[in-house]
Amino acid sequence: MDLSRFARRRYTDFATPIEPMPRFSAALAATCPGGRGPEVWIKRDDMLGLFPGGNKTRKLEFLVADALAQGADTLVTCGAPQSNHCRITLAAAAREGLKCRFVIEERVPGSYHPQASGNHFMFRLMGVETLTVVRAGSDMAAAMQREADDLASQGRRGYIIPGGGSNALGGLGYVACAQELQQQCFDRGLRFDHVVVGSGSSGTHGGLVAGFVGNRIDVPIIGVGVSRDPQQQEPLVLKEAQAVADLLGLQMQIPPEAVRSVGGYWQPKYSLPNARMVEAVQMLARTEGIPLDPVYTGKIMAGLIGLARAGEFAPGERVLFIHTGGLPSLHAFEDVVLGAGGPVAP
């Protein structure tokens, strides 16, 4: 799979580390049937460039390169309150000398607070040009187009990046990740039995699937849904994976069985805390010193923990967790993750 024909900005000068997590694995095993569990490792995509890192950095390497090639002076994107994608897009804009505008969808009524900590502090610090808040269920593509039209009326040129950076071009970032992971495993003599990744706007999960299928990496990927259960999520991921494969000219169909997701760990709603997320965030922080965020990686790790306890992974199997970042939003949920914020959903 040749990515060299696509323009790309480089925001990370190294392959993100793959690390074993022996203390976490032992703590997890103690809660699994028979006191035995999988050997859990982690790929630190939270250490990617555009501080403080995260999966969107890989997508933006291709998207921002395209924006620059088209002569854009402003990036326009969308997300929910505390959006990691918006924050990293703004960081990329600052790095490239571009302006940036957001459309924020208030998916949970009352959840947007302009003076909030976490990513909202970063929005203000890095100088977002405008931030427009719309109600849940709004047509986000139309809202972003209005921003681009406003820029055009001023003689400026906007470049629209979809939520999560999730389109075929952005998905190339996780094809690159698949190739990076394959090389790391070869160099270190590693073999994983499962890969666990978040599954939301579908760009990360779909790009990784396309990369694994295209590079013939025979390791099953399990996506843990952060906003949808499998019947809604898997068709989106399959569509994204196929779009990435088509963009690469692979002339192949992504097999539906290559796409698997699990649900139930994101409720009661997207971005709202639950007890399993709190357990996962505390468990990893207190065994390995690695923070997770409450909206994405905390719930994804809760999924890995739940699958292990249900016997999904055989004792001793090696499971790789893709840490997709999101650290700043953790500071907006301090009381919750410390167990001092009142009741959360079970």
Query: What is the set of active-site residues?
Result: 83
Rounded to whole angstroms, what are the CA distances from 176 to 188, 204, 211, 215, 244? 18, 11, 7, 11, 12
CB distance 175 to 207 below 8 Å:
yes
Element (H, E) at 330: helix 327-330
For residues 176 and 168, the answer to whether their CB atoms sit within 8 Å is: no
The answer to whether the beta carbons of residues 101 and 129 sit under 8 Å apart is yes
Residue 284: closest CA among 323, 232, 229: 323
Residue 19 contacts residue 45 (beta carbons within 8 Å):
no
| Residue 79 Cα distances to 38, 57, 84, 204, 287, angstroms | 35, 15, 8, 16, 32
**What does the alpha-carbon distance between residue 179 and residue 243 come to, in Å, rounded to a whole number?**
18
